[in-house]
A = this chain, B = another copy of it.
Amino acid sequence: MDQKAANTDLALRTRATRVIPGGMWGHQNAARLPKGYPQYFSRAEGCRTWDADGREYIDFICGWGPTILGYNDVDVEAAAADQRARGDAMNGPSERLVELAELLVETVPHADWAMFSKNGTDATTACVTIARAGTGRRKVLVARGAYHGAIPWCTPSVAGVTEEDRAHLIQYDYNDAASLEAAVDQAGNDLAAILVSAFKHDLGKEHALPTRAFATRARALADLTGAALIVDDVRAGFRLHMGGSWELVGVRPDLAAWSKAIANGYALAAVTGNDRFREAATKIFTTGSFWTAAVSMAAAVATIEKLKKTGGIDTMVAMGQRLRDGIDRQASRHGLAVRQSGPVQMPVILFDDDADRRLGNAFCLELLARGVYMHPTHTMFLCAAHTVADIDQTLAASDEALATVARL
């Protein structure tokens, strides 16, 4: 087999079947997507990506969130390259650590301090551990169906998970203050934390921003009980509000978990917290071999500064609104009941009466064939590199895709 033939999507999948269990693992496993999605990617630039077979797409997954300024952003890459020439994973942090922590404290109103790691799961796990260390209590409230990471206490799978891994979790329903109150009651005097997603973004379900009533009640219940209010901003962070997603509803958490978009694709996560939990944060032991690696921190400083300077969120909102309005118009013209939900810059597009995903999957496959990469059930992501021309090209594709769906 020549080199080119060995690197087609099909050839790579075949090779992978031998050396990777099931051919792929985790959220990027294309076997979880309708047949027709590529598994392997060869290139990415701006808001565009190319699969292993060389097909180009306008990308609305953006690496599943990390890409917020666009792939290969010139300013982020320059900052990263400059730091790389000096050093990355060294015996201790570089000054980039202090700059980044200062920048987060300056940018995020609830943050008196910050700590860093590599995965969103690292950050959510540290938040829960800090809350337990600070309160001396154990119970953690989580919304039914919410995703907070992929180790035994939080992974959506039950394989390899023991009952004890989740012994102190109590469930409530997002945006349902009464169910949250019931969960608080159930925790009694053992309540360590109320953990909330930035917004309701459960897989395959309609998305919803937090209501002001729910968010305010969550804050009040945490205050009343002395528990920590933790916002999991891993998926949404820096896309809804530079100061943290719950700034939109005027509520500040005690602790927040960040990752994905923080460094425009460089592996980094963060915990921010207020002074109430500063001492608790010094007591836990959480660390990793690459957690102070300086290149990812230089990239994060550049990403956050550029988002602020260029109004990146405004761009994503404008482009997201243009996409949503366009698809709404097209759907109604084609007589299709399409529910677009979530913030416009992090949409999910679902079809009515589509329990088997026949319509949603067909829509996405028609888009793929026309050079647009969307996802049928997961939160999607716009980035600041999406332009009016990209959205209009997408809408030209979606009009044809919806026409096809309407004939199904």
Asked whether, in the complex, the Cβ of A25 is within 8 Å of the Cβ of B61, the reply is no
Asked whether, in the complex, the Cβ of A40 is within 8 Å of the Cβ of B259, the reply is no
Q: Which residues of B contact A134 (CB under 8 A)?
A: 160
Q: Which residues of B contact A59 (CB under 8 A)?
A: 91
Q: Which residues of B contact A125 (CB under 8 A)?
A: 151-152
Asked if A362 CB lies within 8 Å of chain B CBs, one says no
Asked whether, in the complex, the Cβ of A285 is within 8 Å of the Cβ of B155, the reply is yes
* A61 (CB) vs chain B CBs: closest residue: B91
B-contact bits for A184-228, CB 8 A (1 contact / 0 none): 000000000000000000000000000000000000000000000
Q: How far is the CA of A310 from the CA of B126 in the complex (A)?
A: 40
Pick from B24, B91, B290: contact of A41, CB under 8 Å: B91
Asked whether, in the complex, the Cβ of A93 is within 8 Å of the Cβ of B133, the reply is no
Q: How far is the CA of A323 from the CA of B125 in the complex (A)?
A: 41
Q: Which residues of B contact A24 (CB under 8 A)?
A: 92-93
Asked if A65 CB lies within 8 Å of chain B CBs, one says yes
Pick from B20, B28, B45, B287: contact of A25, CB under 8 Å: B287
List the one stretch of A11-19, A174-182, A245-253, A326-334 in contact with chain B: A11-19
Asked if A359 CB lies within 8 Å of chain B CBs, one says no
8 A Cβ contacts from A300-358 to B: none
Asked whether, in the complex, the Cβ of A119 is within 8 Å of the Cβ of B288, the reply is yes
Q: Which residues of B contact A21 (CB under 8 A)?
A: 113, 115, 273, 278-279, 281-282
Asked whether, in the complex, the Cβ of B92 is within 8 Å of the Cβ of A28, the reply is yes
Asked whether, in the complex, the Cβ of B282 is within 8 Å of the Cβ of A93, the reply is no
B-contact bits for A61-79, CB 8 A (1 contact / 0 none): 1011111000110000100
How near does chain B come to A381, taking the closest CB pair, in angstroms? 10
Asked if A242 CB lies within 8 Å of chain B CBs, one says no
8 A Cβ contacts from A83-110 to B: 84-95, 97-98, 101-102, 104-105
Q: How far is the CA of A286 from the CA of B282 in the complex (A)?
A: 28
Q: Which residues of B contact A161 (CB under 8 A)?
A: 129, 132
Asked if A168 CB lies within 8 Å of chain B CBs, one says yes
B-contact bits for A9-40, CB 8 A (1 contact / 0 none): 00010011011111011111010000000111
Q: How far is the CA of A131 from the CA of B72 in the complex (A)?
A: 39
Asked if A5 CB lies within 8 Å of chain B CBs, one says no
Q: How far is the CA of A64 from the CA of B373 in the complex (A)?
A: 40
Q: How far is the CA of A39 from the CA of B102 in the complex (A)?
A: 17
Question: Which of A41, A91, A267, A281 counts the most B-chain CB atoms under 10 A from its CB?
Answer: A91
List 19 A–B pairs whose Cβ atoms lie within 8 Å, in order of A's numbering: A15-B102, A20-B115, A22-B282, A26-B286, A41-B90, A44-B87, A49-B90, A59-B91, A88-B266, A118-B267, A119-B119, A119-B290, A129-B159, A150-B285, A156-B285, A157-B285, A164-B165, A164-B167, A260-B289
Q: Besides A20-B115, A159-B283, A267-B296, 9 other CB < 8 A contacts?
A: A25-B287, A26-B286, A38-B92, A41-B93, A44-B86, A119-B119, A119-B289, A164-B167, A164-B168
